[in-house]
Structure 1
Amino acid sequence: MATTYDHPSVKTVHCTGGSYEIGFTHGQAASVEVHNNIGTYTGFFAETVHLTWDQARERAVAEFIPTLQKKYPEILEEMRGIADGAGGGLTVADILTLNVRSEIALTNYADGCTSLSQKTPDGKIFVAQNWDWLEELQKGLVFLHIRPAGSETELKFLSEGGIVGKIGMNNAGFGLCSNALRSGAYNQHNLPIHVMSRRLLQYATSVDSALSIINSLGTASASNYMMADKSGNHLDVECSPHGNVIILPHNDYVAHTNHLYGPNRPARLVDHPAPNSMSRLLRVQELCEQDRKNAIPASFESLRTRFSDQDGFPYSICRSRPPGAVGMERMITLSTIMMELRSGTGKVLIGKPCDDIPVVEWSF
């Protein structure tokens, strides 16, 4: 199995400076990926909510410019920098639309993903996931390594070109994974979920501080966050504008897919998951229990084995495109992200983890 610090098809972009400068570097280096993603989501919006890109952009501007100007103005400056760096006539409105793609469309349709956090007897703490999404996004991925000016904070994450936050960790020892939830819950006065992911990656230093950020700013739509920190604290939180529900570890692990199952969730919060979300959750829990009974501790190797599972193929933990699939059912496992917070290290696979593919190493 090849190991590399870079990836042959996914760019690694190092961004430093102020908000605009960070964005400009991102946009300039990943211009092709940004424009590819706008093309992908133009089709996605037409398929799922019957909106043109222009209509989606009008909605994004009307609903989220005021919110971000009030709650997170520096991220708007970063989006402006991305637009200018990517060129081709893009504006901050186009980049904002990319960043609220979940609020525009995933309140009606959810992507896949299986996430897990687990603590080992010797104190290692892992947070990891398979990210299942549109096959076309293979041409739109980017690794972002960001160090804001005047800050000791450094963050590393895998994202889609043009999107400011997703799956990763920071040098404070905090790590974040996320799963989509198919729910109509919506509040334009809260932070869009990808913007919230960035806020957490940049400002959270622990699970407790992350929960404080989420409770203070709120999410605009429903989303699931799996999080852990180097102290060994880890949990799952199902977020929505109607309230947040915490799922605590059992037997030192907690897993999640794409449906709500936390205790005492708000009565107004409902979801509409695909049946394979339930089967994937049961399967990953079964695999965790098998490892526990066999005294196999969490490690990058054991996590990859679990995320490579193809029980229930093609709608398995390691997902493949079903024969003849159209629309959103053409999802595949795009990547696997595994992070160990005590050592500040990570391993990322672009593609299906059951294949022999390069491993990208992260470390602080």
Structure 2
Amino acid sequence: MATTIDSKITYDHPSVKTVHCGGNPYQIGFIHGQAVSTGIHHNIRTYTSFFAETVQITWGQARERAVAEFTDTLQEKYPEILEEMKGIADGAGAGLTAADILTLNVRSEIALTNYADGCTSISQKAEDGRVFVAQNWDWLEELQQGLVFLHIKPEGSAVEMKFLSEAGIVGKIGMNNAGFGLCSNALRSGAYNQNSFPIHVMSRRLLQYATSVSSALSIIDEFGTASTSNYMLADKSGSHLDIECSPYGNVVILPRDNSVAHTNHLYGPNRPARLVDHPAPNSMTRLARIQELIKKDLENSVPTTFESIRTRFADQEGFPYSICRSRPAGAIGMERMITLSTIMMDMTSCTGRVLIGKPCDELPIVEWSF
């Protein structure tokens, strides 16, 4: 029987394409790769420099490591994602191989055990019962030229996914039509296990197969994460929580007063004794500030809405290392991070709003819905 291919590009944002991908894993990947080939090649150049700065290895050395450490694990536990990566490489062309796309997808395992990005995330149950999950994504300024919105409908599945990603990366921040959504924060720790899922592969697995927070926790327990990362999870039933994941074990942080927040350091209870992170000081100040803003809204009876969440994420106290982050004057290397986007999702209604850029600026809004 012939496979149906669902493919189109829409321009929901003036500078970031929305790529609609359907079909089998290879076809989904090929559509993705062909549609944003320029962005994929740009991101590989960016991470070539990133690897040289953070772990002093070349792209070729990173590729050798990615293939040696993760091919067998993914072939055994998630072979369809390797097929999708092959499709991305073939679609992007210009000599790219599946190994290059695998390397892009394990960029965190290669380098973020040494360096962490920004990001401030929250989940909150509103006064009317709606559940929101949202974040500012802070990362390398150069990646503004390598972003993509992906809307994926796998063949034979009832699940559809919408997420913001880096071109060539198979999973990141978003939601599915089952009413499940996730945000994520990087954590800098040397914990590592090549027999578990790289964190972007885990994000994709969750978006494709989780239908609730509880099923997401089961997936994380089953496959584990190869490096340390944080996920903020929520679903349409009203369940929401945070989970700090590591190869040494996972720690759940439950909401207090209907909300939970996270930045880029470990603070969950009873974490594994040998799990240590090395955050930048601004991670602690951003967490304290977002918690303060949530508390102030509650005290002042400010309704929890897309608008009030955006106002919190637009906060610039502590500039330039604020929740809405700007590039510090004279910054070089990894300190050139800025807030690349704000992603806000209402899981009760399966709707979302995404801003590309800093939420403290006037920006076009991309609307998500199923």
TM-score bucket of the superposed structures, by smaller chain? over 0.9
Alpha-carbon distance in 2 for matches of 1:127, 1:297: 15
For the pair 1:62 / 2:57, whether they are aligned, the reply is: no
Match of 1:74 in 2: 80
Aligned pair partner of 1:19 in 9, 25, 29: 25
The share of aligned pairs that are identical, in percent, is 79
Aligned pair partner of 2:174 in 155, 158, 168: 168
The aligned runs of 1:88-167 (5 Å cut-off) are: 88-167=94-173
TM-fit CA distance, 1:268: 1.0
Q: Counterpart of 2:283 in 1: which secondary structure?
A: helix
TM-fit CA distance, 1:297: 2.1
TM-fit CA distance, 1:122: 1.4
Q: Counterpart of 1:27 in 2: which secondary structure?
A: helix
The aligned runs of 1:290-309 (5 Å cut-off) are: 290-309=296-315
Contact in 1 for aligned 2:245/2:251 (Cα 8 Å): yes
Match of 2:6 in 1: none
TM-score (structure 2 length as normaliser) = 0.97
Q: Counterpart of 2:108 in 1: which secondary structure?
A: helix
**Letter of the aligned partner of 2:201 in structure 1?**
V
1:78-107 alpha-carbon deviations (Å, 9 max, x no partner): 000000000000000000000000000000
Aligned pair partner of 1:361 in 354, 360, 367: 367
Q: How many residue pairs get matched?
A: 361
Please provide the CA RMSD for this pair: 0.8
**Letter of the aligned partner of 2:52 in structure 1?**
A
Contact in 2 for aligned 1:5/1:361 (Cα 8 Å): no
**Letter of the aligned partner of 1:20 in structure 2?**
Y
Contact in 1 for aligned 2:126/2:304 (Cα 8 Å): yes
**Letter of the aligned partner of 1:356 in structure 2?**
E
TM-score (structure 1 length as normaliser) = 0.99
**Letter of the aligned partner of 2:286 in structure 1?**
R
**Letter of the aligned partner of 1:62 in structure 2?**
A
Contact in 1 for aligned 2:11/2:17 (Cα 8 Å): no
Match of 2:36 in 1: 30
Match of 1:243 in 2: 249
Alpha-carbon distance in 2 for matches of 1:292, 1:249: 14
Contact in 2 for aligned 1:207/1:229 (Cα 8 Å): yes
Alpha-carbon distance in 1 for matches of 2:73, 2:331: 38
Alpha-carbon distance in 2 for matches of 1:252, 1:261: 18
Q: Counterpart of 1:84 in 2: which secondary structure?
A: helix
Aligned pair partner of 1:327 in 311, 326, 333: 333
Contact in 1 for aligned 2:25/2:80 (Cα 8 Å): yes
The aligned runs of 1:164-313 (5 Å cut-off) are: 164-313=170-319
TM-fit CA distance, 1:296: 1.1
**Letter of the aligned partner of 2:196 in structure 1?**
N
1:265-302 alpha-carbon deviations (Å, 9 max, x no partner): 00010000000000000000000000000111210000
Segment of structure 1 superposing worse, 138-147 or 116-125: 116-125
**Letter of the aligned partner of 1:29 in structure 2?**
A
Q: Counterpart of 1:338 in 2: which secondary structure?
A: strand
Q: Counterpart of 1:283 in 2: which secondary structure?
A: helix
TM-fit CA distance, 1:5: 7.3
Alpha-carbon distance in 2 for matches of 1:199, 1:144: 15
TM-fit CA distance, 1:226: 0.2
Alpha-carbon distance in 2 for matches of 1:328, 1:313: 17
1:128-185 alpha-carbon deviations (Å, 9 max, x no partner): 0000000000000000000000111100000000000000000000000000000000
Gaps of 5+ in 1: none
1:97-127 alpha-carbon deviations (Å, 9 max, x no partner): 0000000000000000000000012110000
Match of 1:85 in 2: 91
Alpha-carbon distance in 2 for matches of 1:108, 1:214: 23
Relative to structure 1, is the Cα distance of residues 91 and 5 closer, same or farther in structure 2, using a 3 angstrom cutoff?
A: closer
Greater length-normalized contact order (CA 8 Å, ≥ 6 residues apart):
1
Alpha-carbon distance in 1 for matches of 2:74, 2:304: 39
Relative to structure 1, is the Cα distance of residues 5 and 26 closer, same or farther in structure 2, using a 3 angstrom cutoff?
A: closer
For the pair 1:43 / 2:28, whether they are aligned, the reply is: no
Q: Counterpart of 1:102 in 2: which secondary structure?
A: helix
Alpha-carbon distance in 1 for matches of 2:178, 2:134: 17
